[in-house]
Structure 1
Amino acid sequence: MLKKTLAAAGLPATGRFVPKAGWVSRAWIGEDVVVRGSSDGQVLDAYRHEAAVADLLAGSAVPHARHIAHGDGPDGPWCVTERLPGRSLHEVWPAADRRTRRTIIESLGTALRALHRVPVPAELLPPWLSGALAGGEWPAYHPPVVSRTLQRVEAARRRPGHDPRLLADVAAWVQERLVLFEGDALVLVHGDLHGSNVIVDGGRVTGLVDFAEALAQPADAELDTLLRWCARPAEFPPTPEARGLDAPALAEVPRWLHDAYPELFEREHLRERLDVYDMHMELAIHAHHPHEDVRATARGRIARLLRGHSHRDGLSW
């Protein structure tokens, strides 16, 4: 697949490429480019979406990989992007000292501020998410779209064996909080920000990668996945077979990010807003995940949110 993809992109099939596994795509890391491919047809739409986001990022101050080409070949969808210097934050973090870690997060704050200043069409949504919100399958469960949260309640009600009283309480809870989002300005949000999607070199963020879930949402929606990663990093390994980082190693990340990008945390009623983002994700899992044990875990987290508790209870900024 690698040679065919390089040829389709108009690139020479020379040089050394290191294969790398991923959640959905396979990747080959070359000296100058990164080649990704998959047999999953949904990935083609993801690559197209990433290309559209790359156009939005062109000329901005956002560190990112230049998009080179994408397409659909006999072996499946493919994408070629520029290779950024460095390694993922996930790879760098364990061996980095505290000073280097703080410098990385300060650089990440600068990158996010630049991202949230990029002009974005208000209707920007990943194709898979548009389809899921319209009643299709849910290949992923984030990022949140607050205006559709009550629809997730209705989807959960269609599940056999649902708890009617719990979902009635959730619907009332959500309805009371939607007013917190009225008049929000929409910005370009990465939507899946965690250690594997940040590239670091020498203590500096050289790029945000994997914009397959980028969308137009309020800026503080960016904190949804990022704070969940800090609190429950075991749920964010770079591949299904790998191990996530340890939570104590990420304990200072929210405070450092606050210091670097304070306006991201200054939104009125921030914690209540974050709870709504979290509720959206747990409802999506509860309504759509194929495994009952995972849906049951989401149901328990929904009940905790109604009681005023979440994964952020142990985080401080």
Structure 2
Amino acid sequence: MEVALMYAQSVSVPRSFSSVLMDYVTLMKPRIISLLVVTAYCAMVVGAGRLPSIGLTLLTLGGLTLSSGGAHAVNMWYDRDIDKVMRRTKMRPVAQGRIPGSHSLAFGIILQAISFVGLGLWVNWTTALCSLGGFLFYVFIYTMWLKRRTPQNIVIGGAAGAFPPLVGWAAVTGTIGWPAILMFLIIFLWTPPHFWALALYKQDDYRKAAIPMMPVVRGEHVTKVQSMVYTWLLLAASVALYFTGTVTWVYLAIAVALGVTFIGYHVFLLREHEPDTIWAKRTFKFSLLYMMAIFFAMVVAIPH
């Protein structure tokens, strides 16, 4: 009986095509990609001064999706050891063993190769290089170098998520202009307050995985103070975009309102002390709303 039981346990149950497909989609982190695609598309609209053609839009956003998804798949291959011990990530396909790490690595590289060639041939090579830059920064600078070594991991590594506006802008203009650089800077400065708010109520996860996130290494007060500094810098960068002439006063009003509100959240966050995390969670949720709203504000405020 015991031998039969051991044999039954050793025989893997065949998985359906749909379940395997969903795991590969999960490797790409579609929820994160959705935000990246939105910022890229908004940059396309602002750069063109109108809605870009459907063909160019699909090619650009499709290429960005493949590139970003590829970077995330490589990230899951490299981080499979720490993903297993974090509650937030332990159910990921590679961490669970549903997809071999080598398959995730190969999948990610293939996606990036298709993205680079496709964007270069059918959009332009500036767009392809911007997308490749985001891939390389996320994989090598953030995932492999910074994430496990310094509490500044999110600060510097945040640049990886700031590449999509460069991709979108380059797709419609063929160049990288100052408005695109300021959009890059907005996302770059937004990333620390966004992720540190999450880290404040997920400290145990990062501590178990030995990831030196700011709250774990420097404590909650230092984290909140530095986060507040970044929200002020974010407000300044968002206002600066108005002076490029690519958006109207409507954007300026929305940007100021969003920025001041984000700072207000941090005022309450600074007054909160462990074990309370209510304002940390609220700040994290608002940060997501902020990013969507600030880029949509750019679109509705295009000069006519």
Q: Shared fold (TM-score greater than 0.5)?
A: no
TM-score normalised by length of structure 1:
0.27
In proportion to residue count, which structure has more strand? 1
In proportion to residue count, which structure has more helix? 2
